[in-house]
Amino acid sequence: MTEHEGAQAPVGPIDASRVPRYAGLATFARLPRIEDVPSADVAIVGVPFDTGVSYRPGTRFGPSHVRESSRLLRPYNPAQDVSPFAVAQVVDAGDIPVNPFDIDEAVAEVERAADELAARAPRIVTIGGDHTIALPLLRSVAKRRGPVAVLHFDAHLDTWDTYFGAPVTHGTPFRRASEEGLIDLTASCHVGTRGPLYSKQDLVDDERLGFRVVSSEMVEEQGVAAAIEAIRRRLGDRPVYVSVDIDVLDPAHAPGTGTPEAGGLTSRELLRMLRALADLDVVGADVVEVSPAYDHAQLTGIAASHVVYELVSLLAARAAAERG
């Protein structure tokens, strides 16, 4: 299927054979803006916010960096055998402007904007920004789909309680989401976690909050295929929200992030795991924690742009299948 049945074909990216990749719109993969099409199936939106970080700042510049790094993406995805921009209308919805001085207000602004965008494009991939934004995004998704299975790729659990007494930061979104009933406690999963914790109690609390762990060590020892099997067994047939902190990758693959940890996944391993979700009901996604000031030669931006591309491919193929 290459176009909407009975409707105008989707508007795709700028043709690289006519306009050089370093020119043209500064949208993700040089896609059309949401204002330029009558309707959309999948929207990519940025949230330039990093007030919730606990170590290195700069992820407020992540959305623009990932967009710039996406210029070399092409319209056919051979790994998933889909042309995502042809089978569905994919757009760049710009950025959600949020208050950089007030976390609570910023979180409320993201939730409201996600609700409004979902009315125009039912499938959303968000580029952060720090991981705080996962909380309002899950609030928005849960209004439409109820509690979802969260597939969380990250070096860290992000289920801690508070930092300096603050309950909403980039290290706490999944604790708050679990407490609010946004997460399916029987089907959620962390992937790629590694490194030191504050105590063993962190793991006890994490399990109580509804998560199982597929650690970076497990991937190394048992292989990617075993990790994929464990992930799919945990997710079952639930609707899935995918949240990717780019620090799930080893710093060799993604140096441009705020809290790097040694011993992470390779970009190849992460992309393979995402492609294994092709037959699941992925209802939304985010890619967060790209901090360009610490990047080198766009290593992190390029990795993140490919992660977004794989997620968009999943969502576009799903939209096309549901349309028939």
Q: What is the largest CA-CA distance in the chain?
A: 58
CA distances from 305 to 133, 202, 293, 308 (A): 18, 31, 17, 5
pLDDT at 185: 97
- Provide the β-strand partners of residue 126: 45, 286
DSSP reduced 3-state for 171: coil
Q: What angle do CA 133, 134, 137 make, to 5 degrees?
A: 90
Identity at 130, one-letter amino acid code: D
C-alpha 216 chain-centroid distance: 19
Q: Give the DSSP H/E element, type plus range, for residue 177.
A: helix 173-179
For residue 38, how many other CB atoms are within 10 A of its CB? 8
CA distances from 94 to 22, 33, 35, 109, 270 (A): 19, 7, 10, 15, 26
- The closest of 46, 32, 68, 28 to 126, measured between CA atoms, is 46
DSSP letter at 59 equals: G
Considering Cα of 244, then 249, then 255, then 261, what sign does the dihedral take? Answer: positive
DSSP reduced 3-state for 316: helix
For residue 146, how many other CB atoms are within 10 A of its CB? 12
pLDDT at 25: 85
Q: Domain 28-323: which topology? A: Arginase; Chain A (3.40.800)
Q: What angle do CA 223, 261, 231 make, to 5 degrees?
A: 35
β-pair type (42-47, 123-128): parallel
- The closest of 37, 40, 35, 239 to 123, measured between CA atoms, is 40
- Provide the β-strand partners of residue 191: 153, 214
- pTM, whole model, 2 decimals? 0.96
DSSP reduced 3-state for 128: strand
Q: Give the DSSP H/E element, type plus range, for residue 207.
A: helix 201-208
pLDDT along the chain (324 residues), means of 10: 60 92 92 97 98 97 98 97 98 98 98 98 97 98 97 98 95 98 98 96 97 98 98 98 98 98 98 98 98 97 98 97 86
Contact 310, 77 (CB under 8 A): yes
Pairwise CA distance, residues 284 & 51, whole Å: 23
DSSP letter at 34 equals: G
Q: What angle do CA 246, 252, 255 make, to 5 degrees?
A: 50
Identity at 243, one-letter amino acid code: S
